[in-house]
Amino acid sequence: MAQIRANGIQIEYDTAGPHDGPPLLLVMGFGSQMTSWPVSFRDTLAASGFRVIRFDNRDVGLSQRFAGTPAARDVARAVAEGATPDVPYVLNDMAADAAGLLEALGIESAHIAGASMGGMIAQLVALNHPAKARSLISIFSTTGDPSLPRSTPEAQAALVSQPASTARADVVAHALKNRRVYASTRWAFDEEAVAALTAASYDRAFYPEGATRQYAAILASPPRTEALKRLALPALVMHGTADTLIPWQAGAHTAASIPGSEFVLLDGWGHDFPLPAIPVLTDYIAAFVRRAEAERSEAMARPAVPGCCAA
């Protein structure tokens, strides 16, 4: 792992796979470090020939931390009243981090894949920094449209509840209890794997304050529905029927909002990355990226039409 300055902040990142392979940027979700992408997920995609880049979003892991303690209720009230919320940053800023990371690494463009909040950020990279996005892969995410079904009360409580204390054992126990609420039903809940990941994340960088600001950034950011209708790039939207945190209808809505997108709905997949699911997920992603690369190569090889596009 390494650090680099991008978009004016320090960002922790790592890469895997061939340096000259098609770049694939992985954007993780709310409060989660880049190491929350399973190693087998990253390595399988790298073995498929892609240059896979993971990074810690701002305010999580080893990337730059911010200041301020916005209250979710105040942010929500400001949005409801049509006012500008007082927050340290919004999702547009986090998308600029992702685009800036690619720029700092000398990568002209990449396939942008994001999970949950990371999917929201990935959508905004495609919208705000189109030259940086070869394709968009939105994983159990949403457009943020207020008409969509909400989390179940249990899943929402699991997302925002706090452990009994900041002690390592309490944090691990809290994760085991709450992640069951929005876990897959198709694959068994792997208590040992979840405990190991939570403990490793705690040891690497336990920083719950950052999640408060990331949550505020989500609340303060407007829906992307209308903007997504103007996207003109290959897009893959993936969701599962067992997702109680962001119901699958949000994925269907995302796909319907992006012209020509592909929608994959997996029975029994929740809001998680169970290890037995990794081959299924990476097969879909690898096949999609290969198709997008083939279309890109074909477009680049096509002769310019006389009188068009500065020809």
Check which CATH number belongs to the domain holding 263 and give it. Answer: 3.40.50.1820
What is the predicted pLDDT for the residue at 304? 63
Q: Is residue 181 part of a domain?
A: no
C-alpha to C-alpha distances, 11 to 17, 54, 61, nearest whole angstrom? 20, 10, 9
pLDDT of residue 53: 98
In a domain, 161, yes or no: no
Burial (Cβ within 10 Å: 0-12, 13-18, ≥19) of residue 41: buried
Predicted TM-score of the model (pTM): 0.95
Domain annotation covers residue 172: no
CB atoms within 10 A of CB 170: 13
Mean pLDDT value of segment 183-212: 97
Q: Could you count the other beta carbons within 10 Å of the beta carbon of residue 264?
A: 18
Confirm whether 18 is domain-assigned: yes
Average pLDDT over residues 24-36: 97
Has residue 128 been placed in a domain? yes
**Surface-to-core class of residue 249, CB atoms within 10 Å of its CB (0-12 exposed, 13-18 middle, 19+ buried):** middle
CB 246 within 8 A of CB 141: yes
Q: How far apart are CA 182 and CA 187, in angstroms?
A: 12
Q: What is the mean pLDDT of residues 75-101?
A: 96
What is the pLDDT at residue 70? Answer: 92
In a domain, 200, yes or no: no
What total number of domains does the chain contain?
Answer: 1
Task: Supply the range of the domain harboring residue 19.
Answer: 2-150+208-301
Q: For the segment 139-190, what is each residue's pLDDT rounded down to a tens digit?
A: 999 999 999 999 999 999 998 899 999 999 999 999 999 999 999 999 999 9
pLDDT of residue 306: 65
| Residue 44 located in a structural domain | yes
Residue 165 within any structural domain of the chain = no
**CA–CA dist 311, 301 (Å, integer):** 14
215-255 tens-digit pLDDT? 999 999 999 999 999 999 999 999 999 999 999 999 999 99
